Amino acid sequence: MRLLLTSGGVRNATIRDALVDLLGRPIDECTALCIPTALYGHPAVGPGPNVRGFISGTSDDMTGLGWRSVGVLELTALPSIDEDLWVPKVRDADVLLVSGGDSLYLHHWMRESGLADLLPELTDTVWVGMSAGSMVLTPRIGQYFVEWTPPSGDDTTLGVVDFSIFPHLDHPMLPYNTMPAAEKWAAGLGNPAYVIDDDTALTVVDGEVGVVTEGHWTYLGA
């Protein structure tokens, strides 16, 4: 699996070019599945217009990029249906577009649905995460970002990569997402971390991490 881990989606030409490189062909030749599940779990979002906006591509830079087709993969529904109805569709998709929201809620449903177990098989798939959709692949999100409390009671996530992510640095609607706050957050993690704004993304291919940016970012070692 090739990863494009963003804070705010594919917001600029540099991030879009990185996405095309990961796909290996134009966006309009690729099929996508979008995963809105994280939105439901965040107390500031929940069900409603934000979910519709993500799925329809009218409120973000993910599903509205001009894909050949976009389907919806709602993780909370998957445990109640036969795997033959959804696993082949995941395997056939060129890209998974994973919304922001609550990382721990998303992690819980990735485990419950079986999608987490399927990830190692998706060697040719591109994962595009936005905020929580990126953070869910890290070892842990840190207490700073805990909203929904999982059954485990901790802040661990999938650990596909070995670093954590602090998104939305200096975002005008999130005045508390500052560099001093990020440094304090990182001090309690025990693993490396990247602090990125909405004009920055991380690529991960065969374990190699790259930074693509038209904005600001910082690497904080463990």
pLDDT, one tens digit per residue, over 112-159 is 999 999 999 999 999 999 999 999 999 999 999 999 989 989 999 999
- pTM for the model: 0.96
Distance of alpha carbon 46 from the chain centroid: 17
Task: List the structure tokens of 22.
Answer: 């990961």
The 10s digit of each residue's pLDDT in 84-118 is 999 999 999 999 999 999 999 999 999 999 999 99
Structural domains in the chain, CATH included, are 2-220 (3.40.50.880)
* Count of other CB atoms within 10 angstroms of residue 123: 8
Question: Mean pLDDT for the chain?
Answer: 95
pLDDT at 79: 96
Please check the confidence at residue 46 and state whether its pLDDT lies above 80: no
The span from the CA of 54 to the CA of 48, in Å, is: 10
Number of H helices, E strands in the chain: 8, 10
pLDDT at 61: 85
Helix/strand/coil for 101:
coil
The 10s digit of each residue's pLDDT in 172-203 is 888 889 999 999 999 999 999 999 999 999 99
Residue 67: pLDDT band by 50, 70, 90 thresholds? very high
